[in-house]
Structure 1
């Protein structure tokens, strides 16, 4: 095993991160389109992507251990540390390019994940504000919309409850912590 095997694994990991990013983007925007019928399929795909990421991560760990012995560097380092320890400038450039791309992907994923987790809370808050505006006699001259506003608020609460029960266990950790550590992003965890 050599650095080219590690690079191939990093390419696989990058492809999975792209799939994860696309899945999260779709989950973030699908409810805004008014249809949630695709969410169960997206969640199943998310779980499969996360499982595949874990398997590639395990293979990467094994490859890193072998490469660390070959390059005579400690086994517990970040991708940036490995790039700095590379014996040739070519491998430094290749590993730094992987680091830059994967870090960018990881930051986008973490941001989208946070948005998705916050979406139900924002929806409930905005619906309640809308309901208050419609039912407050000082803010609204008509009370004919009260039943609709009350229904909207109830629907938002139900949506929030459904989201919390339907969200896959892995969404809280869509980006494995060990990958965050490998990329040097462990300070962003939690």
Structure 2
């Protein structure tokens, strides 16, 4: 049995990463695609992605015990990807991870054969989505949109523009996974 492939999905807030990953989760099961949950120090009822909510103490306890394959901090929260991902890959599963652009280099060190996937959208579309979700002030949205250009596209990345139909973006990612991109 050959190892599976890790697809490390990243992109700016408002690009629709969670929506694309949810679409693939719903349509990719028949193809053996596994979507890793993130462990986050954010309440479960906070909306957004399906994640495992941990208190700060729970997160630190798991991190100290080496239970995460990868961790990072962003927006005042702690994020982790569990070691179960390595187990799944070793058993031939293709795995999707909702990653962070800031943690990408560490992810490459941990999973050298990962496939980077950048989900993006136009700055106007991202600003509209951020405004609609109502979690950021107009100044915060402006700052987030301004940061988009600060992140270069990692070499070898698959880039998916999610400005249009969600099913098109999801199907593009699923086809890449199925073909081994």
Q: TM-score range by the shorter chain?
A: under 0.3
Considering fraction of residues, name the structure with more helix.
1
Considering fraction of residues, name the structure with more strand.
2
Could you state the TM-score of these two structures normalised by the residue count of structure 2?
A: 0.24
Could you state the TM-score of these two structures normalised by the residue count of structure 1?
A: 0.24
